[in-house]
Amino acid sequence: MNILKTLAAIIKVISTVFISSAIGWELWNIYALMNNISIPSSLNFIFWWERFAITAHLIAAVIAAFYAPTKEKRPMKYAIYTFFVGTVSLIELFAHEENSSKKPTYLNDL
């Protein structure tokens, strides 16, 4: 089960880097639009992917903020954590409930 813990840690780092990069890309895009700087059309695909990722992470963060108090977590703190980390944090949040009533599973390691 140590492999799952390592994989979760790697996903957390990669997700944080990619979401931070997506925010940077979007800020650059907004700056370019405000200053009439032309952006190559070949980058539109990247912009749509980063917008999709930010939207998906935002939805996950809202879910985490809603359920965090029921798991004795601070909603705003866990929502920000979930926004940057993604689905792994939701797995951690919901695994806490499962682990309190059952024997430990592989989700304990996350």
Question: What mean pLDDT is predicted for residues 73-93?
Answer: 93
Q: Backbone phi, then psi, for 72, in 5-degree steps? A: 60, 40
Mean pLDDT confidence for 28-34: 93
pLDDT band at 15 (very low <50, low <70, confident <90, very high): very high
For every residue of 19-80, DSSP letters joined together read HHHHHHHHHHHHHHHHTT----GGGHHHHHHHHHHHHHHHHHHHHHHHHGGGGT--HHHHHH
Determine the average pLDDT of the residues in 70-82. Answer: 92
Q: What is the pLDDT of residue 95?
A: 84
pLDDT at 5: 86
pLDDT score, position 106? 46
Mean pLDDT of 59-68: 94
Amino acid 97: pLDDT: 54
| 58 exposure class (CB count in 10 Å sphere: 0-12, 13-18, 19+) | middle
